[in-house]
Structure 1
Amino acid sequence: MSEKIQNNAKAKQSYMENFRRYLELRNYQKKNVKRIVAIAKEYEEYREKGNLPKEYISYLKLRKNKNNPEKLLSNGTINNYLTALKLYRNYRKNIKRKETDILFCKSLKTYIPKIEIVSPEEIQSLFEATLNTRDKAVLCCLYYLGLRAGEAAELLLEDVDLENQKVLVRKSKTGYQREIPIHSKALEIFEEYVKERIPKGECFLQGLKGNLTPSGIEFIIEKIAEKSKIKKRIYPHLLRHSIATHLLKNGMELKKVSTFLGHRSLESTQRYTHL
């Protein structure tokens, strides 16, 4: 490999590392930082082959799904690519002061499946089926705080302010920090959990060997659902869907629910209004 090629490769790697730090400083979750940087790298590789930016959407529509080569990318996945590239474009334009050749079209139409939520009675059944205080704290994070599994896993102990009854979410899917009030029922469980909590890491929710992971949270919810004997499939994000719907039904304004959930726009929240 020539010295020029090596230098170009190092420069490219350094550039992407700077983009990674840019995203981390803006409080994006680790898994989303990794995904966004990977999309930016793929776009750069596409351009290095002499392809035109305006043809990129067509390229994505014909690209095979890496996880399932028999299928093409879905419209939802393509929209995720476009969102990631908008962040990359802003980085290049505003931080690096570089002209950008990244072109965009409007988001592609996607089929939004009907959201099946958990009723308040079923939420009660889930709590009754949970004997472990830590697992009850997990339920509270997902339902009463409306956190994504990744947000719950990365929640720091110091960010759970029991005295002032609020939680600070530092890292999110959208990069936005937000404060969430702690519901009185969740407060009681959190107080009990903190007394029993055996510190193995810096995060609020602890597993057997350290900080609880998103997959660990999913496993806990599956086990709780199994004990509750609720027939519908229960998973972490369903609890987030459920609290959003319950808040709207109880009269909370759409904008406040959107802020509570940490959505970037009201459009993301409006999908709950038909329920």
Structure 2
Amino acid sequence: MIIKKQIIIYTPVPRSHRFKLFIPYELKAEREWLKMQNTTFYHANQKLWSMLNTPENKKLVARRFKGIYAVQGAGIPAASIQKAITLSEDMLNALALCEQKFVLKALSSSTIKNYLSALSYFFSFFNSRSFPEITKDEIESYVYHLKSKYKISDTKQNTVINAIKAYYEYVLEQPREYYNIQRPKKSNHLPNIFSKDEIRKLLQAPQNLKHRCILLTIYSSGLRISEALNLRIADIHSDEGYLFIKDSKCKRDRKTILSPILLQVLRSYYKAYKPAYWLFEGQDGGKYSAKSIQNVLRSAVEKSGVNPWGTVHTLRHSFATHLLQEGVNLRIIQSMLGHSSSKTTEIYTHVLAINNKTAKSPLDFLENFDIIVEKPTD
């Protein structure tokens, strides 16, 4: 029997957390079944589905699609926006000038990297034009082109717009003004958190003292990953009971809590590793890398069996939510997190557990209310 429409299951690369599938449009019943399964996600830019890379999920898919699927290597086509581009010497010079200006503006290294990537595609798209002469309408059409053809995310769309604005204002020194470029509506997703029980399991998972110490520090003090990497030994103020966070987001200094439990672990860590300057150093003596911390967290998640969607930043979200659950004042939490606006911190009030133990329904306050329950009929 010849199968005209076949499902393709791509072999995941080593240590990949998800595997991907291609389901032809005509196989609607199979696609609808996959939608109903846990951990599935649709990658619109690749037109592929994915599931968590577990033996159970692989067996489930193989059993359901028996006889109509084929296994293929990991050579999944990347989104076409990632295709290689060729930049002229003038474009390379423009990018170098952009990098210089962005550094002088004290933008973060990650922001500079994202802006330069966005501008390289922008320059390539308008390669036959004089950039100062490109109109606002043309810029808006370019963003629409990226959004409609490549299905870029809302975050990517904002990055592209901000990069172009930065180029015209910082590099070409044009006056700061409003660009009539449609921004995506800001999503209102609730932050993902670990429960207290999950935190306990997660923090006990690493056997390596440094790895456990890093996760403890991020959770117990509510740090961003970049703030943990930039911690110096001098930032540990044990007598006063706080961590000093220098040049955090938006170049703001702040103080956050130093747990006595964390301090005890940090002292053991210091005796064992003897860092010279940075609190968490790599093997070469420089700062520990963000990728290494992400790998530590991912390993702890897999070993402890907690929420598989958790990231390093989930530890920071959990810090804020757990403090709110303990009744800590929102303004204090705002200060420890380094939020400039209380509205940013208020998002954590929406993720507090809601049940009949933490709140009462107005139905419970009605007086003389009789509950009438009809007997089931045969």
TM interval, short-chain normalised: 0.7 to 0.9
Deviation at 1:39, TM superposition (A): 4.8
Pair 1:74 & 2:153 matched: yes
Pair 1:123 & 2:199 matched: yes
Pair 1:50 & 2:126 matched: no
CA distance in 2, matches of 1:10, 1:80: 21
Q: Structure 2, unaligned stretches of length 5 or more?
A: 1-87, 352-378
Supply the RMSD in Å over aligned alpha carbons.
3.5
The structure whose residues are more often strand, as a share, is 2
In the alignment, is the contact (CA less than 8 A) between 1:178 and 1:262 conserved in 2? yes
Deviation at 1:227, TM superposition (A): 2.5
Deviation at 1:215, TM superposition (A): 0.7
Q: Structure 1, unaligned stretches of length 5 or more?
A: none
In the alignment, which of 35, 39, 51 is matched to residue 114 of structure 2? 35
In the alignment, is the contact (CA less than 8 A) between 1:257 and 1:269 conserved in 2? yes
Deviation at 1:269, TM superposition (A): 2.7
Deviation at 1:252, TM superposition (A): 3.1
Pair 1:18 & 2:101 matched: yes
Moved more, 34-43 or 146-155: 34-43
In the alignment, is the contact (CA less than 8 A) between 2:202 and 2:300 conserved in 1? yes
Q: Relative to 1, partners in 2 of residues 1:114 and 1:33: Cα closer, same or farther, differing over 3 Å?
A: same
Deviation at 1:162, TM superposition (A): 2.8
Deviation at 1:41, TM superposition (A): 7.0
Pair 1:60 & 2:143 matched: yes
Q: Give the secondary-structure state (helix, strand or coil) at the position aligned to 2:105.
A: helix
Deviation at 1:48, TM superposition (A): 0.4
1:128-143 maps to which residues of 2 (within 5 A)?
128-143=204-219
1:105-120 maps to which residues of 2 (within 5 A)?
107-120=183-196
Q: Relative to 1, partners in 2 of residues 1:268 and 1:106: Cα closer, same or farther, differing over 3 Å?
A: farther
Deviations 1:106-127 (A, max 9, x none): 7521444443311112211222
Identical-pair percentage: 24
In the alignment, which of 242, 267, 282 is matched to residue 166 of structure 1? 242
CA distance in 1, matches of 2:266, 2:166: 36
In the alignment, is the contact (CA less than 8 A) between 1:145 and 1:182 conserved in 2? yes
CA distance in 1, matches of 2:296, 2:98: 39
Counterpart of 1:78 in structure 2: which amino acid?
Q
In the alignment, which of 310, 314, 328 is matched to residue 238 of structure 1? 314
Q: Relative to 1, partners in 2 of residues 1:7 and 1:76: Cα closer, same or farther, differing over 3 Å?
A: closer
Q: Relative to 1, partners in 2 of residues 1:71 and 1:43: Cα closer, same or farther, differing over 3 Å?
A: closer
CA distance in 2, matches of 1:89, 1:160: 42
Deviation at 1:182, TM superposition (A): 0.9
The structure whose residues are more often helix, as a share, is 1
Q: Give the secondary-structure state (helix, strand or coil) at the position aligned to 2:321.
A: helix
Q: Relative to 1, partners in 2 of residues 1:220 and 1:92: Cα closer, same or farther, differing over 3 Å?
A: same
**Larger relative contact order (C-alpha < 8 A, sep ≥ 6)?**
1
CA distance in 2, matches of 1:155, 1:183: 16
What is the aligned partner in structure 1 of residue 296 from structure 2?
220
CA distance in 2, matches of 1:129, 1:261: 25
Q: Relative to 1, partners in 2 of residues 1:155 and 1:101: Cα closer, same or farther, differing over 3 Å?
A: same
CA distance in 1, matches of 2:185, 2:261: 40
CA distance in 2, matches of 1:118, 1:259: 22
Counterpart of 1:62 in structure 2: which amino acid?
H
Deviation at 1:219, TM superposition (A): 0.7
CA distance in 2, matches of 1:104, 1:172: 31
In the alignment, is the contact (CA less than 8 A) between 2:242 and 2:256 conserved in 1? yes
Q: Relative to 1, partners in 2 of residues 1:57 and 1:243: Cα closer, same or farther, differing over 3 Å?
A: farther
Larger Rg: 2
Q: Relative to 1, partners in 2 of residues 1:229 and 1:13: Cα closer, same or farther, differing over 3 Å?
A: closer
Counterpart of 2:278 in structure 1: which amino acid?
C
Deviations 1:124-173 (A, max 9, x none): 12222233321222112221121122221222232233333222222434
Q: Give the secondary-structure state (helix, strand or coil) at the position aligned to 1:180.
A: strand
